[in-house]
Amino acid sequence: MDKKYDVIVVGELNVDLIFDKLGDKLPEVGKEIFANEMILTLGSSSAILAANMSTLGSRVCFIGKIGKDSFADLVLTSLESKGVDTSSIIQSSEHKTGITVACSYGNDRAMVTHPGAMNHLTIDDITTEHLKQAKHMHMSSVFFQPGLKPDVAELFKRAKEAGLTTSFDPQWDPNEKWDVDLKELLPYVDVFLPNIEEIKFMTGTKSRDEALESIADFANIVIVKDGENGSFLWSKNEQINQPIFTNPDIVDTIGAGDSFNSGFLSKFIEKQPLKKCTEFGALTGAINTTSAGGTTAFSSINDVKDIALNRFGFEIV
Ligand SMILES: Nc1ncnc2c1ncn2[C@@H]1O[C@H](COP(=O)(O)OP(=O)(O)OP(=O)(O)O)[C@@H](O)[C@H]1O
Ligand SMILES: [Mg+2]
C-alpha cells in the first residue's frame, strides 16, 4: 500500500531572531546598542532539512512541539509555505515556542536560546500510527530534545519494527556530554549522519578512522561530513570518498549539513545507489552555500535546478 508520506521528520522547532550590523559593540548590562538590520525567521536544523526535502520533491510530515503563541504561527506558516505537513506538530499552552536570539559579528554569532516547548517532546507523542504513514523516519538534534533523548533507541526500534528506513543526525551537544549510547541506537539506524567533530566526541576517539572502527560492529551506513573536505561514506560493503562541488562565491555555510542530508535522503528513499545519494548530497550541500541561511537557495525546485546547472554544471533530471 502506498504511504501518505515519504518522510516523517522528528525534531526540534524554534524561531531565530538575528541582529546584524551591530558595529563593533557587544551588548552590555545597563547599556543599549543598535542593530541596523534584523531578521525573524524559522530556525532549527530539523526544519531546514524538512523544508529542503519538500522542495526537492519528497512528501514530508513533521513531528515536534511548539507553544501557542505568535512564534508558533511563524513556525507553522513557514513550514506550510514549503509544503511540509504540520498536522502532527503539537501545540502546548504550557510552554513557549523555542527561540534563539543571535547577534551577528562577521562570521560569528553570540546566541541565547530559550528551548521552551522543544524540551518537552517525548516518545509518547510519536505513535506507531504516525510512523506507519511514512516510508522513512529522520531525526536530528537529539541533544536539543531532552524529553526524547532517553528513549531515542526505543523510538528507532519502533520505526524499524513498523517497516521504515531510518536516519539520524546527532548535531552538536551544547552540554558537550555526548551521552547517547551508540551501541544501543545504531543497530536501528540505517544512515548515521554526524559531522567529523560529532562522531569523534560521541565515540571518544581522535580520528575519523578510529571513530568508524569503534562502531563498525553495530553501525549500518555512516556518513562523516567534513565541510570543505567533503564527506566519507562507510558501510560494511562499500566506502565512498565524496568531494565537494566547489563554490568560489560562498555566501555562508549555515545549514550545509542539513542540506546535504536533504539531498542524500531524497535519493536514499528512492533506493538509488549510495554513490548517487552521496553525490546529490554534496550538490545540495554546495547549493546551500550560494545564499544566506539554510533554505534561501531552496526556494523552488526550478531554482535548485538552475543553480545546479549554472553554478555547478550538474543537470538534475
Ligand atoms: N564551503 C563549502 N563548499 C561546498 N560544499 C560545502 C561547503 N561546506 C559544506 N559543503 C557540503 O556540505 C556537506 C556538509 O557540510 P558540513 O560538513 O559543514 O556539515 P555539518 O557540520 O553537519 O553542518 P551544519 O553546521 O549545517 O550542521 C559537506 O560534506 C559538503 O559536501
Ligand atoms: Mg550538522
pLDDT digits (tens, 9 = 90+) for 39-51: 999 999 999 999 9
180 vs 23: CA distance, rounded Å: 40
Going by C-beta distance under 8 Å and a sequence separation of 6 or more, which residues neighbour residue 170?
140, 141, 142, 143, 180, 194, 198, 202
Angle at alpha carbon of residue 284, lines to 118 and 292, rounded to 5°:
65
Could you read off the pLDDT of 256-278 as tens digits, one per residue?
Answer: 999 999 999 999 999 999 999 99
For ligand 1, atom 24, name the residue with the nearest CA: 257
Q: Which three cell numbers stand for residue 144?
A: 536539543
**Three-class secondary structure of residue 168 per DSSP:** strand
- Grid cell, residue 36, equals 541596523
226: Cβ below 6 Å to ligand 1? yes
Residue 103 amino acid letter: C
Return d(Cα 70, Cα 40) in angstroms, integer: 12
pLDDT interval class at 109 (50, 70, 90): confident
The per-residue pLDDT of the chain, averaged, comes to: 96
HSE on the CB side for 229, CA within 13 Å?
9
Torsion of CA 180, 120, 253, 256, to 10 degrees: 70
Q: What confidence score (pLDDT) does residue 153 get?
A: 98
Q: Is the pLDDT of residue 210 over 80?
A: yes
- By most ligand atoms within 8 Å of CB, the mutation choice from 141, 195, 259 for ligand 1 is 195
Q: Is 303 in the pocket of ligand 1 (CB under 6 A)?
A: no
Q: 175-205, pLDDT tens digit by residue?
A: 999 999 999 999 999 999 999 999 999 999 9
44 CA to centre of ligand 1 in angstroms: 16
Position 265 scores a pLDDT of 98
Look up the pTM and report it.
0.96
What pLDDT is recorded for position 103? 92
Q: Model confidence at 1, in pLDDT bands (50, 70, 90)?
A: low
Class of domain 5-11+45-97+116-312: alpha beta
Ligand that lies nearest to the alpha carbon of residue 244, given by its number in the listed order: 1
For residue 210, give the C-alpha cell.
578510529
Q: Is the dihedral of CA 19, 22, 25, 28 positive or negative?
A: negative
- Atom of ligand 1 at shortest range from CA of 194: 22
- What is the per-residue pLDDT across 116-172, written as a single tens digit (0 to 9) for each? 999 999 999 999 999 999 999 999 999 999 999 999 999 999 999 999 999 999 999
Residue ID of nearest Cα to ligand 1 atom 2: 228
- Confidence (pLDDT) at 187: 98
Q: Which helix (H) or strand (E) holds 46?
A: helix 45-55
Phi, psi of 208 (to 5 degrees): -60, -45
Percent of the chain with pLDDT over 70: 100
Ligand 1 test: best mutation among 138, 260, 288, 295, most atoms within 8 Å of CB?
260
Q: What is the pLDDT of residue 76?
A: 98
CB-ligand 1 contact for 257 (6 Å cutoff): yes
